[in-house]
Structure 1
Amino acid sequence: MKVVAYSVKPFEREHLAKANQKKHDITLIFNSLSLETAIFATDKQAVIVSAADDVSAAVINKLAELGVNYITTRSALAANIDKNAAGIHGIKLANAPNELGIAQQTIRNLDLWELNKCVGKACICAKACKK
Structure 2
Amino acid sequence: MKLALFSSKPYDEKYFNRENKFNHEITFFSTRLNEQTLSLAKGYTAVCVFVNDKIDRAMIATLAKNGTQFIALRCAGFNNIDFEACKEFGIIVCRVPAYSPYAVAEHTAALMLTLNRRITRAYNRVKEGNFSLDGLLGFDIHGKTIGIIGTGQIGECFANIMNGFGTRLLFVDPFESSKCQSMGEYTDLDTLFKESDIISLHCPLRPETHHLINDASIAKMKNKVMILNTSRGALIDTHALIRGLKQSQLGSVGLDVYEEEAELFFEDCSDTIIQDDTFMRLTTFPNVIITGHQAFFTSTALSNIAETTLQNLDDLEFERLCLNLVE
* Residue in 1 that maps onto 2:14: 14
Q: Secondary structure at the match of 1:87?
A: helix
Give me the whole-angstrom Cα distance separating, in 2, the residues matched to 1:104 and 1:118: 16
| Cα deviations by residue, 1:86-120 (Å, 9 ceiling, x for unpaired) | 00011000010115711111101111011112311
1:66-77 aligned within 5 A? 66-77=66-77
Q: Does 1:87 align with 2:87?
A: yes
Q: Does 1:124 align with 2:297?
A: no
Give me the whole-angstrom Cα distance separating, in 2, the residues matched to 1:25 and 1:85: 26
Larger radius of gyration: 2
Unaligned runs of 5+ in 1: 126-131
Q: Decide whether the 8 Å contact of 1:75 with 1:95 is kept in 2.
A: yes
Aligned identity (percent) is 31
Amino acid of the residue matched to residue 111 of structure 1?
A: D
Kindly tell me: are residues 10 and 54 of structure 1, through their superposed partners in 2, closer, same or farther at Cα, counting changes over 3 Å? Answer: same
* Segment drifting more, 83-92 vs 97-106: 97-106
- Deviating runs (4+, > 2 A) in structure 1? none
TM-score where L is the length of structure 1: 0.89
Give me the whole-angstrom Cα distance separating, in 1, the residues matched to 2:72 and 2:57: 16
* Residue in 1 that maps onto 2:59: 59
* Segment drifting more, 108-117 vs 79-88: 108-117
Give me the whole-angstrom Cα distance separating, in 2, the residues matched to 1:14 and 1:21: 13
Count of paired positions: 124
Unaligned runs of 5+ in 2: 101-303
Q: Decide whether the 8 Å contact of 1:7 with 1:50 is kept in 2.
A: yes
Q: Decide whether the 8 Å contact of 1:35 with 1:62 is kept in 2.
A: no
Q: Decide whether the 8 Å contact of 2:75 with 2:97 is kept in 1.
A: yes
Q: Secondary structure at the match of 2:79?
A: coil
Q: Decide whether the 8 Å contact of 2:22 with 2:314 is kept in 1.
A: no
* Segment drifting more, 38-47 vs 15-24: 15-24
Give me the whole-angstrom Cα distance separating, in 2, the residues matched to 1:8 and 1:99: 17
Q: Does 1:113 align with 2:323?
A: no
Q: Decide whether the 8 Å contact of 2:4 with 2:28 is kept in 1.
A: yes
Using the TM superposition, give the Cα deviation of residue 22 of structure 1 relative to its aligned residue in structure 2, in angstroms: 6.1
* Residue in 1 that maps onto 2:155: none
* Residue in 2 that maps onto 1:102: 305
Give me the whole-angstrom Cα distance separating, in 2, the residues matched to 1:40 and 1:65: 13
Amino acid of the residue matched to residue 42 of structure 2?
A: T
Using the TM superposition, give the Cα deviation of residue 82 of structure 1 relative to its aligned residue in structure 2, in angstroms: 0.6
| Cα deviations by residue, 1:23-47 (Å, 9 ceiling, x for unpaired) | 1111011010001111111111000
* Segment drifting more, 13-22 vs 3-12: 13-22
TM-score where L is the length of structure 2: 0.37
